Structure formats: C-alpha cells, structure tokens
Structure 1
C-alpha cells in the first residue's frame, strides 16, 4: 500500500469516482436546499479551468495503489494574496485515517509555493466533520460559532499561511 499526491485537473478520469461520490454526499445532505434560488448544483458552480495553475489554482488527488482516496483544490480568490479551498474530500471507504488532514496540509503547502499568504473557504452548515477539521488545523471561523450552524448557509473560515508556516518551523 503506497500513497502519493498528484497534481492534475478535475477532468482527470482518476478524479471521477471521488467527485461522483462527493456529489452524492452533497445531494444526501442538502437535497435541493442550495438550488432553491434556481442556481446551479454545487458541483457545477466552478469551471475546471479555475483550478489550474495558469489561473492561480490547483487540484490534487491522494492516490493509494493508483486509486483516488482523497483530494481537494484551490482557486484564486478576490484578492491576489488569497486562495479559496474547494472540495476537500476523502473517499467514504477510507475515512478515519487522517487523510483529509494530509490533503489539507498538501493544499496549504502548494498554496504557499504558489505565493499565497492566506486561505479562505466555506463549508456547508450540515458538515460538522469539516468544521472540526478546519478548527483543529488552525483555521479561524469567520462566523459566530456559538450560534447554531443552521443560522448560516455557508460557514466561512480563513488561515494565514505564512504565520502557520513560521510556527511549524519554530
């Protein structure tokens, strides 16, 4: 059993099973909630090209024996120093192994290599596992955590990468 990261695109056939499972997960947790306003399905909101290095993004897969078991991406955010994390995901058969944390760390490291100082993300209010992951890994909640998560449609977080990298090096 060997794990390795590869940088690719959401269109890579290796990514398809992971993306399909993520889509099913979104559907099971949220149903039509985010489509009430007539907007696109969550997985259709962002063109794959936004996750390319040429546009300031990146897309990573964690492979085990040639199969995608985790992945995630980032794209350029509204300001030039910030990348926005998207689609951090672990295959359901591979959970509780710390894989999401590994993917998150890889994305943080790559964002630093690409010159970003800050990461921003939102997660859904029905994803307590994601909220816990981000809080455990030094992300700051940009919402009132004392209120029920259902109060918000999206739960925003941020992390200053250069500060985190300096703390790790110390």
Structure 2
C-alpha cells in the first residue's frame, strides 16, 4: 500500500482563493477565475499549473449523482484482518483496489483495520459483492456492514 508523503507546501492567500474557487466550480474559465481572485489570466493559469505540477491539484472530474445512475445504496464496511502486518495490509489494499464498487477505502486505527464505502444498486447487488469479492479475500477476520439511510452532508471542498 502506497502512502503519500506529507510535505507541507506553503500556499499564498491567492493560491487558496484559486483552490477554493476551482473546488466550487472546476469548469470555470481561466478568465472568470482570474476575475474572481483579482488576477489577470496569465498569472492565474501559471499558478494553477504550478499547483498541478506540485500535486496540490490532483485532477479534475465531474460529480455524478449515484442515485441518478442507479446506485442508490451506500454501505460502510468495517474490515478486521487476521494479522496487521504490512504484507497483509498491502494484500488487502491490492485486492480491493480494482473493484469499482469501492468508492473509498481508509486504513484505520482502533477496532477495525479498514473502512470502505461501497455503492451498489440494491441489497442483491451488495450480497453478490460480499459473497463473490469481499469474503474471498485471504486474511479477512471479520466484516461489519452499516447501510446508509440517507446522506446529511457531502462536500469535496476542502476548508482552505
């Protein structure tokens, strides 16, 4: 499992304004963004490119409504492994890495080793995922599923 190195990068007030604006509307034109943050287009684009190169801006994507595309069920799954050695942790991460149902996976402290957020069409699809994929991973000691009744808040905008 590859863990990103944490390196503190100093962001200027202007960089933070740019990032906030892009998080709120990633399709904004460079000119509109520059106007919003009080820069001309060229220096604004230069700052964006620098933040992309530094890995601060990791990519661009569209936010898709999971219910609108037929995936209304969100399941949070707590996984406990038989052993918590690096080899077993890496093997689990590799096993679930290619599964499209897994939207997020976190290595955790506490009672469980991993927390997953999985989306699926219905309970039957979740059962299939559980039986055919998750329970087939070597070294899993326990699986605890919690179904979301509804989403109270979702944000992809970091508090910069």
**Fold shared, TM-score > 0.5 on shorter chain:** no
Task: Return the structure number with greater relative CO, CA threshold 8 A, min gap 6.
Answer: 2
Q: Provide the TM-score with structure 2 as the length reference.
A: 0.28
Q: Provide the TM-score with structure 1 as the length reference.
A: 0.27
